[in-house]
Amino acid sequence: MTPLRQRMLEDMGIRNLAENTQSAYLLQITAYAKYFKRPPEELGPEEVRAYQVYLTQSRNLSPSSLSVATGALRFLYKVNLKREWAFEQIPMPKRPFTLPVILSPEEVMHFLNSIDNVKHRAILITAYAAGLRISEATHLKLTDIDSQRMMLRVDQGKGRKDRYVMLSPRLLEELRAYWKAVRPTLWLFPGDLPGQPITRDAVGQACRKAHRASGIQKPITPHSLRHAFATHLLESGADVRKIQLLLGHRSLATTSRYLKVATSTVCATTSPFDLLPQIEPALPAPPPPAHF
């Protein structure tokens, strides 16, 4: 391990960055050094710019993927190498604003009924019923189920924050039936490796299989169930602030985007055209002149 890599690991650890973020940053800096075949200490603003052009034009990376690479480069040069030019000359790409595709309650039910594996069905039901990120669902433990208070404890969710989410009576019934069938001990959804939870990739594969079986044309990922949870809550009259707390969003603005896809608040709103007095029908067009 090079001294720079060791220092980067230490600096990320001091700042308590998530493990996924640490792994992504290390991969990005390794790729950056391999591209120029030189250590990052010897590279400067021009090389950074050339690398970003390469990622954008040759690799054709999406703004989201480019943001990860940019974040890694900024961390390297500002935090590790303490270069004053880091933020000014490493621009962060602007991400386009997109709205999620939302499954209807009927589509969610059909999708969940298309899952043929007991464990996969239970974890995807949990993701929808509690609005969990898939990484949060995979790391649930048996001790996180509080049936007395009807809550699920999310231990160190995104941003290294704990929170409690709803445990619906119907979800509790599903989890009890699942426990009787599988008998997990530590992790609620154990993986193939002893002592380890199920992986995100395994859940993603199960989701793709169920998607094909369901025949639903809309795109479906595990995160689609979280989007559906928030939108369906909003459409049923839940307060946006409560939804924010359940989802674990730091900003209310993040939660408010579901207002744009909730049909009961947007599409069902009366158009001002419907409030106008009756408009007289248009007169028929006169016949064209004879010489036409």
Annotated catalytic sites, by residue? 133, 158, 223, 226, 249, 258
Give the other-Cβ count within 10 Å of 21's Cβ: 15
Helix (H, G, I), strand (E, B) or coil at 7: helix
Give the other-Cβ count within 10 Å of 144's Cβ: 18
Instruction: Give the long-range contacts of residues 207-214, CB within 8 A, separation 24 or more.
Output: 207/124, 209/115, 210/111, 210/112, 210/114, 210/115, 210/116, 210/120, 210/124, 211/111, 211/114, 213/114, 213/115, 213/116, 214/110, 214/111, 214/114
Considering only the C-alpha atoms of the chain, give the largest distance between any 2 of them, rounded to a whole number of Å: 91
Q: Name every residue whose Cβ is closer than 8 Å to that of residue 259 and which is 6 or more positions away in sequence.
A: 234, 240, 265, 266
Question: Tokens 């021009």 — which residue?
Answer: 46
DSSP state of 93: P
Give the other-Cβ count within 10 Å of 41's Cβ: 15
